[in-house]
Structure 1
Amino acid sequence: MSEQAAGSASLATGTVRLVIVLGGLSAISPFATDMYAPGFPEIVTSFGTSGTAVQLSLTACLIGLAIGQVVLGPVSDALGRRRLLLAGSGAFAGLSLVCALAPSIAVFEVARLLQGVAGSAGLVIGRAVISDRYAGARAARQLSTLSVIGMTAPVLAPVAGGLLLGVGSWRLVFVALAGAGLLLVAAVWAWVPESLPVERRRRGGPRTVLAAMGPLVRRRALVGNLLVVGCALGALFAYITGSPFVFQDGYGLSPTAYGLVFATNAVGTVLAGVLFGALAGRVRLGALLLGGVAVTVACALTLVVLLGTGSGAFGATWACLFGLTFGFGLVLPASTTLVLALGSDAPGAASGMLGGAQFVLGAAAAPLPGALGRTTALSMACVVLACVLLSTLALVALARPWRDDGEDEDEDDGEG
């Protein structure tokens, strides 16, 4: 093998390793968010609390994810990516153990909040690393890979959680998460080099770096895409928090069977991600985004109509939720790529805003299926529909995907 061929093979191997680690970093927070979902009824009994209080522990984690991404994204533009990835992964492992040993629901919820902050480093900085290294269609394909992993994780996490609950209590889930955090520390140390050279870092300290978000929020298309994906993620988390009660209490499934339902839905997400990756560069991102939002609205509306008329059998509910996850599998990579392209002058800040919008809106929607005291299939479906309709409104009023991809509007930016 020639030196040039050997160098190319080494580069390809390094790229594969990098994407694997970034994929793991993208997956760990969704796993932390959803892996314990099959154990919700057991946690209610363990702490002697209510279902709504347990759902709020998910909200706490989502708030932590939002805060962490908003702060750590732009800060990484100043300090670099690698050291924050190492610190975040280590803190995530430690806080997962605190969750496993929590003596009360109050301690558990505080630990979940901080666990979300720590886990956010992998999400927000992973996207920034891709933005540092790639552009155009290649960036879209790499982000699509991370999106598939990030979208599959919330759906596969309850499967893994259900399997662990078959051999131990809900606390075992958080012990497993701690072990995963330690593996990520080792993987980042070995395979993730610094992607932001010192000469490309922002100057002026944290305040100046955080101020980089100011110009971004004045870009209408960017804000529109943030709201599109944020509201869609709200629908997804309403589905995730509501579904353990719907499928286990309403339809009588065991935790393991509930996990298998989610595994099937993961196939829809993966198929959507593969389709997006194949079409990226050949079909406009705006068209893919529009198609994904249309699918989510159609499936959510159908589910509400079926449940409202008493026709919401188990199979029909499952099919509609499969379609919802498929549609979101198109929405997430399309809107993510558009946001990072529109904010390419401050990739860490843009990535932080993206994560903040997603998880703030996700946190707001997560406890809503049980807000009236009891989570039902119809209450979950109504929250999901409301979220996807808000996503559609943002698409039409702000994102406007029929315009050229990445086009910004001078009148909205205040630039001449």
Structure 2
Amino acid sequence: MSIASQAKETTSGSRLWMVLVLGLLASFGPLSLDMYLPALPVIAGDLHTTTSLTQMSLTACMLGLSLGQLIAGSVSDVRGRRMPLMVGLLIYGVASALCMVAPSIWAFLILRFVQGMAGAAGIVISRAIVRDMYEGVALTKFFALLMLVNGSAPILAPIIGGQLLHFTSWRGVFLVLSLIGVVMFIIVVIGLKETHPPERRSKGGLTNTLRIFRGLLTDRLFMGYALTQGLVFAGMFAYISGSPFVLQDIFDVSPQMFSSIFAVNGAGVILAGQITGRLAGKVSNHRLLAGGLAIAVLGGLLLLVATLSGAGLILILPAFFLIVACIGPVSVSTSSLALQNQGQTAGSAAALLGLMTFVIGGLVAPLVGLGGSQTAVPLGIIIAVMELGGVLCFVFLTREKA
């Protein structure tokens, strides 16, 4: 089935269903990273470990998400989208259940890595499926629609996690994640068609896979968008890793209030993403991305000023909002721009795009805890550097699209 006919079918008959399913699959990153955030300080005490090691559980999951995307994305180009997606969802359910009974921080870190690898299938293959069906402005608009669903995950995940802590321990959070994996497996088996038929698949073999990745890595424009997205997302991951300790340990915010603050910031992602979708076709993707980067830099510099001056929540909270909200236009625009010319190899391209995001984010996340849980200065410095780095990649690597 051609791209045009698939797009027509989803528009007339099952567009909403595809938005819901693909949006939920793309949400495995924020679900895995955000739902247990309110419990991070509790986990540190329960597993008798340090703040920095507890934050390493975020890094372990991010690194798993990175490697898993490379594997699932390239396999889906060769074998089709459904099978690697179903395998990933099954493993995710099992790994999440095992996290629930982890006896030590080291076992927890290993299981978080496996959980991330498995959940990565949902993220990368959902992107590839969208590229299978759409191109051009329609691709940008559909990515914006997905933001309605996967943008809700960062809002709902910490709220659910915070409320679960009223009734259970942090281990119960991972039981819920396990159930989500099982439910999504059933949904994919029953209600998701194959969008990458045999005639459009890449030839198998390690040599061909390496050739594809080499071509992407040497594509200056693709890497410009991938690095821009990766650095801006790294700023958000630093926020995810550091904000529970900054807000709860320094400013004595309760887990439930932290969840509410996190939800408000997440709403900014949805709002900004929908504005981007509405402007698509009227304003170039390149300009939309520039606008998102302007928001990112403003938020990063405001946070840096707030942490260095000790201004408190009156500046920190608006800065956090901008740092998170910019993900809407940056994610939608970079995803569309990076995947426009990657039809047959959409899975591998989406994987490399995700790799930049989670590798850089995974390396940055534990750094925000190096100063201990009673200072926010490292967080402010790291986020400002990441946002400025994203702008530099955009300016110097994507100039030919200006």
TM-score, structure 2 as length reference: 0.94
* CA drift at 1:316: 1.9
* CA drift at 1:345: 4.4
Matches within 5 A, 1:27-106: 27-106=27-106
Paired residues of 2:250 and 2:373 also in contact (CA < 8 A): no
* CA drift at 1:346: 1.5
In the alignment, the residues of structure 1 paired with residue 19 and residue 154 of structure 2 have an alpha-carbon distance, to the nearest angstrom, of 19
Paired residues of 1:369 and 1:375 also in contact (CA < 8 A): no
In the alignment, the residues of structure 2 paired with residue 184 and residue 125 of structure 1 have an alpha-carbon distance, to the nearest angstrom, of 13
* CA drift at 1:374: 3.5
2:241 is the counterpart of 1:241: yes
In the alignment, the residues of structure 2 paired with residue 11 and residue 154 of structure 1 have an alpha-carbon distance, to the nearest angstrom, of 27
Q: What is the aligned partner in structure 1 of residue 366 from structure 2?
A: 367
In the alignment, the residues of structure 1 paired with residue 398 and residue 155 of structure 2 have an alpha-carbon distance, to the nearest angstrom, of 27
Q: What is the aligned partner in structure 2 of residue 329 from structure 1?
A: 328
Paired residues of 2:246 and 2:373 also in contact (CA < 8 A): no
Q: What is the aligned partner in structure 2 of residue 314 from structure 1?
A: 313
Paired residues of 1:14 and 1:191 also in contact (CA < 8 A): no
Deviations 1:65-96, CA, capped at 9 Å, x for gaps: 00011121111110000011111111111110
Q: What is the aligned partner in structure 2 of residue 170 from structure 1?
A: 170
User: Would the alpha carbon gap of residues 239 and 375 (structure 1) be closer, same or farther in structure 2, given more than 3 Å must change?
Assistant: farther
* CA drift at 1:215: 1.2
Q: What is the aligned partner in structure 1 of residue 349 from structure 2?
A: 350
Aligned residues: 395
AA aligned opposite 2:124: V
Q: What is the aligned partner in structure 1 of residue 401 from structure 2?
A: 403
In the alignment, the residues of structure 2 paired with residue 127 and residue 323 of structure 1 have an alpha-carbon distance, to the nearest angstrom, of 25
SS in 2 for 1:366: helix
In the alignment, the residues of structure 2 paired with residue 308 and residue 230 of structure 1 have an alpha-carbon distance, to the nearest angstrom, of 25
* CA drift at 1:9: 9.1
Q: Give the alignment's Cα RMSD to 1 decimal.
A: 1.6
In the alignment, the residues of structure 2 paired with residue 384 and residue 298 of structure 1 have an alpha-carbon distance, to the nearest angstrom, of 11
SS in 2 for 1:367: helix
Mark the runs of 5 or more structure 2 residues left unpaired by the alignment.
1-7
In the alignment, the residues of structure 1 paired with residue 215 and residue 11 of structure 2 have an alpha-carbon distance, to the nearest angstrom, of 36
Q: What is the aligned partner in structure 1 of residue 123 from structure 2?
A: 123
Q: What is the aligned partner in structure 1 of residue 3 from structure 2?
A: none
Q: What is the aligned partner in structure 2 of residue 302 from structure 1?
A: 302
Paired residues of 2:302 and 2:315 also in contact (CA < 8 A): no
Mark the runs of 5 or more structure 1 residues left unpaired by the alignment.
1-7, 405-416
User: Would the alpha carbon gap of residues 347 and 263 (structure 1) be closer, same or farther in structure 2, given more than 3 Å must change?
Assistant: same
In the alignment, the residues of structure 2 paired with residue 11 and residue 388 of structure 1 have an alpha-carbon distance, to the nearest angstrom, of 36
In the alignment, the residues of structure 2 paired with residue 78 and residue 187 of structure 1 have an alpha-carbon distance, to the nearest angstrom, of 23
2:145 is the counterpart of 1:145: yes
In the alignment, the residues of structure 2 paired with residue 250 and residue 107 of structure 1 have an alpha-carbon distance, to the nearest angstrom, of 29
Deviations 1:387-416, CA, capped at 9 Å, x for gaps: 11111111111123x725xxxxxxxxxxxx
SS in 2 for 1:87: helix
In the alignment, the residues of structure 1 paired with residue 120 and residue 389 of structure 2 have an alpha-carbon distance, to the nearest angstrom, of 25
User: Would the alpha carbon gap of residues 397 and 82 (structure 1) be closer, same or farther in structure 2, given more than 3 Å must change?
Assistant: same
